[in-house]
Protein backbone atom coordinates (compact mmCIF):
# COMPACT_ATOMS: atom_id res chain seq x y z
CA UNK A 1 0.00 0.00 0.00
CA UNK A 2 1.43 3.35 -1.00
CA UNK A 3 1.88 5.78 1.84
CA UNK A 4 -0.77 8.27 0.72
CA UNK A 5 -3.92 9.96 1.98
CA UNK A 6 -6.13 11.13 -0.91
CA UNK A 7 -9.25 12.43 0.85
CA UNK A 8 -10.11 13.37 4.40
CA UNK A 9 -13.89 13.23 4.72
CA UNK A 10 -15.70 14.89 7.62
CA UNK A 11 -19.33 14.12 8.43
CA UNK A 12 -21.10 17.48 8.88
CA UNK A 13 -24.46 18.17 10.52
CA UNK A 14 -25.37 21.17 8.39
CA UNK A 15 -23.62 21.30 5.05
CA UNK A 16 -24.56 24.91 4.34
CA UNK A 17 -23.20 26.06 7.70
CA UNK A 18 -19.94 24.18 7.09
CA UNK A 19 -19.76 25.52 3.56
CA UNK A 20 -20.09 29.10 4.79
CA UNK A 21 -17.48 28.55 7.49
CA UNK A 22 -14.83 27.18 5.15
CA UNK A 23 -15.60 29.28 2.08
CA UNK A 24 -16.77 32.62 3.46
CA UNK A 25 -15.14 32.41 6.88
CA UNK A 26 -11.74 30.91 6.12
CA UNK A 27 -11.65 31.97 2.48
CA UNK A 28 -11.26 28.52 0.97
CA UNK A 29 -12.52 27.65 -2.53
CA UNK A 30 -14.58 24.59 -3.36
CA UNK A 31 -13.52 22.28 -6.15
CA UNK A 32 -16.75 20.29 -6.33
CA UNK A 33 -20.16 20.87 -4.78
CA UNK A 34 -23.28 18.74 -4.80
CA UNK A 35 -26.03 20.66 -3.03
CA UNK A 36 -27.27 18.98 0.11
CA UNK A 37 -24.66 16.27 -0.20
CA UNK A 38 -21.00 17.26 -0.33
CA UNK A 39 -18.48 20.09 -0.67
CA UNK A 40 -14.96 19.11 -1.73
CA UNK A 41 -11.97 21.42 -1.37
CA UNK A 42 -8.39 20.87 -2.44
CA UNK A 43 -6.25 20.78 0.71
CA UNK A 44 -2.82 20.04 -0.71
CA UNK A 45 -1.13 18.36 -3.62
CA UNK A 46 -3.31 15.32 -4.43
CA UNK A 47 -5.31 15.86 -1.24
CA UNK A 48 -9.00 16.73 -0.88
CA UNK A 49 -10.96 17.81 2.19
CA UNK A 50 -14.52 16.56 1.78
CA UNK A 51 -17.45 17.83 3.86
CA UNK A 52 -20.15 15.21 3.60
CA UNK A 53 -23.71 15.46 4.82
CA UNK A 54 -23.89 13.44 8.01
CA UNK A 55 -26.97 11.43 7.05
CA UNK A 56 -25.40 10.39 3.77
CA UNK A 57 -22.15 9.55 5.58
CA UNK A 58 -24.01 7.36 8.08
CA UNK A 59 -25.96 5.61 5.35
CA UNK A 60 -22.68 4.44 3.80
CA UNK A 61 -20.21 4.20 6.68
CA UNK A 62 -22.40 3.47 9.70
CA UNK A 63 -23.96 5.25 12.64
CA UNK A 64 -21.61 7.80 14.14
CA UNK A 65 -20.60 7.49 17.79
CA UNK A 66 -22.27 10.16 19.92
CA UNK A 67 -21.05 11.55 23.19
CA UNK A 68 -19.73 14.59 25.00
CA UNK A 69 -16.16 15.48 24.23
CA UNK A 70 -13.85 16.21 21.37
CA UNK A 71 -13.50 14.19 18.16
CA UNK A 72 -10.58 11.73 18.29
CA UNK A 73 -8.52 13.48 15.63
CA UNK A 74 -7.10 16.88 14.78
CA UNK A 75 -6.16 18.54 11.51
CA UNK A 76 -3.06 20.69 11.60
CA UNK A 77 -2.31 23.64 9.39
CA UNK A 78 1.33 24.57 9.71
CA UNK A 79 2.83 27.96 9.05
CA UNK A 80 6.28 29.49 9.27
CA UNK A 81 5.78 32.10 11.99
CA UNK A 82 4.03 32.56 15.32
CA UNK A 83 2.44 35.74 13.98
CA UNK A 84 0.69 33.69 11.28
CA UNK A 85 -0.59 31.27 13.94
CA UNK A 86 -2.18 34.15 15.84
CA UNK A 87 -3.60 35.71 12.66
CA UNK A 88 -5.28 32.51 11.52
CA UNK A 89 -6.72 31.79 14.96
CA UNK A 90 -8.12 35.32 14.96
CA UNK A 91 -9.58 34.81 11.49
CA UNK A 92 -11.20 31.59 12.65
CA UNK A 93 -12.63 33.37 15.69
CA UNK A 94 -14.11 36.04 13.42
CA UNK A 95 -15.55 33.29 11.22
CA UNK A 96 -17.39 31.94 14.26
CA UNK A 97 -15.08 29.10 15.25
CA UNK A 98 -15.81 27.74 18.71
CA UNK A 99 -13.81 27.11 20.75
CA UNK A 100 -10.66 29.01 19.85
CA UNK A 101 -7.71 28.53 22.19
CA UNK A 102 -4.86 30.95 22.59
CA UNK A 103 -1.72 29.58 21.02
CA UNK A 104 0.99 28.52 23.44
CA UNK A 105 4.61 27.42 23.25
CA UNK A 106 4.72 23.60 23.30
CA UNK A 107 7.48 21.66 25.06
CA UNK A 108 8.57 20.19 21.71
CA UNK A 109 9.34 23.65 20.37
CA UNK A 110 6.19 24.52 18.42
CA UNK A 111 3.68 27.31 18.97
CA UNK A 112 0.13 26.10 18.45
CA UNK A 113 -3.51 26.80 19.18
CA UNK A 114 -6.77 25.12 18.20
CA UNK A 115 -10.11 26.11 16.79
CA UNK A 116 -13.27 24.08 16.35
CA UNK A 117 -15.18 24.12 13.07
CA UNK A 118 -19.02 24.08 13.06
CA UNK A 119 -19.02 20.38 13.99
CA UNK A 120 -16.35 20.83 16.63
CA UNK A 121 -13.64 19.26 14.47
CA UNK A 122 -10.37 20.62 15.82
CA UNK A 123 -7.88 22.44 13.63
CA UNK A 124 -4.47 23.06 15.11
CA UNK A 125 -2.65 26.09 13.73
CA UNK A 126 1.02 25.49 14.32
CA UNK A 127 4.63 26.26 13.87
CA UNK A 128 6.90 23.23 14.10
CA UNK A 129 10.61 24.03 13.96
CA UNK A 130 11.62 20.35 13.83
CA UNK A 131 12.69 18.54 10.68
CA UNK A 132 9.25 17.00 10.07
CA UNK A 133 7.63 20.39 10.55
CA UNK A 134 9.82 21.83 7.85
CA UNK A 135 8.74 19.10 5.44
CA UNK A 136 5.12 20.26 5.46
CA UNK A 137 5.63 23.96 4.81
CA UNK A 138 4.80 25.36 1.36
CA UNK B 1 -5.68 31.01 5.38
CA UNK B 2 -3.96 28.86 2.80
CA UNK B 3 -5.92 25.86 1.70
CA UNK B 4 -3.64 23.23 3.21
CA UNK B 5 -3.70 20.31 5.62
CA UNK B 6 -0.25 19.62 7.09
CA UNK B 7 -0.92 16.89 9.65
CA UNK B 8 -3.77 14.53 10.34
CA UNK B 9 -3.44 13.36 13.94
CA UNK B 10 -5.31 10.31 15.22
CA UNK B 11 -5.65 9.57 18.92
CA UNK B 12 -4.72 5.91 19.43
CA UNK B 13 -5.42 3.67 22.42
CA UNK B 14 -2.33 1.50 22.08
CA UNK B 15 0.50 3.11 20.18
CA UNK B 16 2.46 -0.11 19.75
CA UNK B 17 -0.57 -1.90 18.27
CA UNK B 18 -1.17 0.98 15.87
CA UNK B 19 2.51 1.12 15.01
CA UNK B 20 2.55 -2.57 14.13
CA UNK B 21 -0.62 -2.25 12.05
CA UNK B 22 0.65 0.63 9.91
CA UNK B 23 4.31 -0.38 9.70
CA UNK B 24 4.29 -4.17 9.68
CA UNK B 25 0.74 -4.70 8.44
CA UNK B 26 0.36 -2.06 5.76
CA UNK B 27 4.07 -1.65 5.07
CA UNK B 28 4.34 2.03 5.85
CA UNK B 29 7.56 3.64 7.11
CA UNK B 30 7.76 6.00 10.07
CA UNK B 31 9.44 9.35 9.72
CA UNK B 32 9.60 10.15 13.43
CA UNK B 33 8.93 8.04 16.51
CA UNK B 34 8.84 8.95 20.17
CA UNK B 35 8.29 5.77 22.17
CA UNK B 36 5.07 5.77 24.11
CA UNK B 37 4.02 9.09 22.60
CA UNK B 38 3.80 9.38 18.84
CA UNK B 39 4.55 7.80 15.47
CA UNK B 40 4.60 10.13 12.46
CA UNK B 41 4.43 8.89 8.86
CA UNK B 42 4.63 10.87 5.64
CA UNK B 43 1.26 10.50 3.88
CA UNK B 44 1.74 12.72 0.87
CA UNK B 45 3.63 15.76 -0.30
CA UNK B 46 3.83 18.05 2.75
CA UNK B 47 1.39 15.81 4.63
CA UNK B 48 1.98 13.78 7.79
CA UNK B 49 -0.19 11.13 9.43
CA UNK B 50 0.44 11.27 13.16
CA UNK B 51 -0.57 8.51 15.57
CA UNK B 52 -0.66 10.07 19.01
CA UNK B 53 -1.08 8.31 22.33
CA UNK B 54 -4.66 8.91 23.39
CA UNK B 55 -3.83 10.07 26.92
CA UNK B 56 -1.38 12.63 25.62
CA UNK B 57 -3.92 13.76 23.01
CA UNK B 58 -6.59 14.22 25.67
CA UNK B 59 -4.24 16.13 27.94
CA UNK B 60 -3.75 18.71 25.19
CA UNK B 61 -6.95 18.68 23.16
CA UNK B 62 -9.61 17.56 25.65
CA UNK B 63 -11.54 14.48 26.64
CA UNK B 64 -12.55 12.42 23.64
CA UNK B 65 -16.23 11.72 23.04
CA UNK B 66 -17.11 8.10 23.78
CA UNK B 67 -19.95 6.08 22.36
CA UNK B 68 -20.92 3.18 20.17
CA UNK B 69 -20.57 3.77 16.46
CA UNK B 70 -18.06 4.85 13.87
CA UNK B 71 -15.76 7.88 14.09
CA UNK B 72 -17.17 10.92 12.23
CA UNK B 73 -14.51 10.94 9.52
CA UNK B 74 -12.92 8.69 6.94
CA UNK B 75 -9.52 8.68 5.28
CA UNK B 76 -9.49 7.71 1.63
CA UNK B 77 -6.66 6.13 -0.26
CA UNK B 78 -7.31 6.33 -3.98
CA UNK B 79 -5.92 4.04 -6.61
CA UNK B 80 -6.27 3.69 -10.35
CA UNK B 81 -7.91 0.27 -10.65
CA UNK B 82 -10.56 -1.87 -8.97
CA UNK B 83 -8.02 -4.68 -8.69
CA UNK B 84 -5.84 -2.48 -6.51
CA UNK B 85 -8.84 -1.67 -4.29
CA UNK B 86 -9.42 -5.38 -3.71
CA UNK B 87 -5.71 -6.07 -3.14
CA UNK B 88 -5.33 -3.37 -0.50
CA UNK B 89 -8.51 -4.41 1.32
CA UNK B 90 -7.15 -7.95 1.38
CA UNK B 91 -3.81 -6.72 2.70
CA UNK B 92 -5.63 -4.79 5.43
CA UNK B 93 -7.62 -7.90 6.32
CA UNK B 94 -4.40 -9.89 6.60
CA UNK B 95 -2.98 -7.13 8.79
CA UNK B 96 -5.89 -7.60 11.18
CA UNK B 97 -8.12 -4.72 10.08
CA UNK B 98 -11.64 -4.98 11.47
CA UNK B 99 -14.11 -4.53 9.94
CA UNK B 100 -13.24 -4.90 6.28
CA UNK B 101 -16.10 -4.39 3.85
CA UNK B 102 -16.26 -5.80 0.37
CA UNK B 103 -15.76 -3.04 -2.19
CA UNK B 104 -18.85 -2.12 -4.20
CA UNK B 105 -19.66 0.06 -7.19
CA UNK B 106 -20.93 3.43 -5.94
CA UNK B 107 -23.66 5.36 -7.72
CA UNK B 108 -21.20 8.21 -8.43
CA UNK B 109 -19.00 5.86 -10.44
CA UNK B 110 -16.36 4.79 -7.96
CA UNK B 111 -15.53 1.37 -6.54
CA UNK B 112 -14.80 1.51 -2.83
CA UNK B 113 -14.60 -0.49 0.36
CA UNK B 114 -13.61 0.31 3.92
CA UNK B 115 -11.39 -1.09 6.60
CA UNK B 116 -11.04 -0.13 10.25
CA UNK B 117 -7.62 0.40 11.81
CA UNK B 118 -6.92 -0.75 15.40
CA UNK B 119 -8.96 2.17 16.79
CA UNK B 120 -11.76 1.69 14.27
CA UNK B 121 -10.72 4.69 12.17
CA UNK B 122 -12.13 4.00 8.74
CA UNK B 123 -9.98 3.96 5.62
CA UNK B 124 -11.78 3.94 2.31
CA UNK B 125 -9.88 2.32 -0.54
CA UNK B 126 -11.28 3.79 -3.73
CA UNK B 127 -11.26 4.39 -7.40
CA UNK B 128 -12.83 7.69 -8.43
CA UNK B 129 -13.14 8.19 -12.17
CA UNK B 130 -14.34 11.79 -11.82
CA UNK B 131 -12.14 14.85 -12.38
CA UNK B 132 -11.44 15.35 -8.66
CA UNK B 133 -10.55 11.68 -8.33
CA UNK B 134 -7.97 12.04 -11.04
CA UNK B 135 -6.38 14.97 -9.22
CA UNK B 136 -5.38 12.81 -6.25
CA UNK B 137 -3.71 9.93 -8.07
CA UNK B 138 0.11 9.66 -8.01
Q: Which residues, 6 or more positions from B107, have their beta carbon under 8 angstroms from its beta carbon?
A: none
Q: Which CATH number fits domain A7-61: 3.20.20.140, 3.10.180.10, 3.40.640.10, 1.10.3720.10?
A: 3.10.180.10
Q: pTM value? A: 0.98
Which of B11, B47, B77 has its CB closest to that of A136?
A: B47
Q: Which residues of chain A have a CB within 8 Å of the CB of B118?
A: none
- As annotated, the residues of chain B forming the CATH 3.10.180.10 domain(s) are 7-61, 74-135
User: Could B71 and A66 be called an inter-chain contact, meaning their C-beta atoms sit closer than 8 Å?
Assistant: no
The reported pLDDT for the residue numbered B57 is 98
Q: Which residue from A minimizes the CA distance to B76? A: A7
User: Could B3 and A74 be called an inter-chain contact, meaning their C-beta atoms sit closer than 8 Å?
Assistant: no
Could you tell me what percentage of chain B is helix, strand and coil, using 3-state DSSP and rounding each to the nearest 5?
25, 35, 40
CB distance B101 to A31 below 8 Å: no
Question: Which one of B51, B71, B73 makes the best mutation probe of the A interface by having the most chain A beta carbons within 10 Å?
Answer: B73
Q: Give the distance from residue A111's alpha carbon to the nearest chain B alpha carbon, in angstroms.
A: 13
User: Could A6 and B78 be called an inter-chain contact, meaning their C-beta atoms sit closer than 8 Å?
Assistant: yes
User: Could A11 and B41 be called an inter-chain contact, meaning their C-beta atoms sit closer than 8 Å?
Assistant: no
User: Sheet harboring A104-105: ordered strands across?
Assistant: A104-105, A111-116, A122-127, A73-78, B7-12, B47-53, B38-44, B32-34
Question: Which one of B47, B58, B101 makes the best mutation probe of the A interface by having the most chain A beta carbons within 10 Å?
Answer: B47
Q: Which residues, 6 or more positions from A7, have their beta carbon under 8 angstroms from its beta carbon?
A: A40, A47, A48, A49, A50, B74, B75, B76, B78, B124, B126, B136
Q: Which CATH number fits domain B74-135: 2.40.50.140, 3.30.40.230, 1.10.10.10, 3.10.180.10?
A: 3.10.180.10
Q: Which residues of chain B have a CB within 8 Å of the CB of A119?
A: 72
Residue-wise pLDDT tens digits, B44-97: 999 999 999 999 999 999 999 999 999 999 999 999 999 999 999 999 999 999
Residue-wise pLDDT tens digits, A21-77: 999 999 999 999 999 999 999 999 999 999 999 999 999 999 999 999 999 999 999
Amino acid sequence: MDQRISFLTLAVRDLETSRRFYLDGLGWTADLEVEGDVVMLMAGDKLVLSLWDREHFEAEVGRIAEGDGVPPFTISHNVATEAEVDEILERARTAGADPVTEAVEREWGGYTGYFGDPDGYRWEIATNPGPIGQKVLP
